Amino acid sequence: MKLDHLAIIMDGNRRWARANNLPSYEGHRKGANNLWDIINSVQKLKLKFLTVFVFSTENWKRSSSEISFLMKLLNQFLDETISKIDKNSFKIRFIGDFLPFEKQVKEKINIITKTSSNNKGVVITLALNYGGRLDIISAINKILINGKKTNLINEIEFKKYTLNKDIPDPDLLIRTGGEMRLSNFLLWDLAYTELMFVREMWPDFNKSILENCMVEYAKRNRKYGGDN
């Protein structure tokens, strides 16, 4: 069974840090570094799309000190991304509500988006201050603001108003860390996505585990509500 679009909920950074007797921020740092390893693995495995949950609309509920570190880490990650664009063929896009971010973060997001827009490699989508419900509500508001004349709208039309309107729905979602929930991620997009929940914390997730997930995925039969 073909796998083109992989989505990942990168969970378990803080628990990984506690298990290794480290402060929580070291788990986030290790997790950010691991994302680059997985991006490289995805390129080698010739997947076409990778979508990762970087920061949710609910993550603002964390302590001010943790938020401050996460924003610092985000800035560093964006700097690394800018430096890597010329050496790689991947196209990077961002989804979410960027209004709460400082000007520097917004500028870097724009630079990365524009600089990589014509690249033909794997399409990497980074969900920042993203929520699935926010995405759906935003789509509805766009429809209302546009004053759509018809009272009816189908799924194909609705998708055109979502943040992932330009890419196909994920084939496979992997959540690390052992938790078995979607946590408000890609609620519209995941309707018929195959789901896998692995025990390994995100900093320990690697190419070997990814390949095992892909083997498991290949064994499944996606019926889309049919009988086959």
Task: Report d(CA 176, CA 27) in Å as an integer.
Answer: 14
- Identify whether 11 is a catalytic site residue: yes
3-state SS track over 1-37: CCCCEEEEECCCHHHHHHHCCCCHHHHHHHHHHHHHH
Task: Report d(CA 185, CA 135) in Å as an integer.
Answer: 9
Which distant-in-sequence residues (6+ apart) come within 8 Å of 140 by Cβ?
Answer: 161
Say whether 216 sits in a helix, a strand or coil: helix
Task: Report d(CA 195, CA 182) in Å as an integer.
Answer: 9
DSSP strands (E only) in the chain: 5-9, 49-56, 91-95, 123-130, 172-175, 194-197
Task: Report d(CA 201, CA 176) in Å as an integer.
Answer: 5
Helix axes 64-85, 24-44, angle to 10 degrees: 30
Q: Looking at 4, 40, 59, 184, which residue is catalytic?
A: 59
Q: Looking at 11, 135, 171, 189, which residue is catalytic?
A: 11
- Identify whether 189 is a catalytic site residue: no
Cβ-in-10-Å burial (0-12, 13-18, 19+) of 149 comes to: exposed
Which residues carry out catalysis? 11, 59
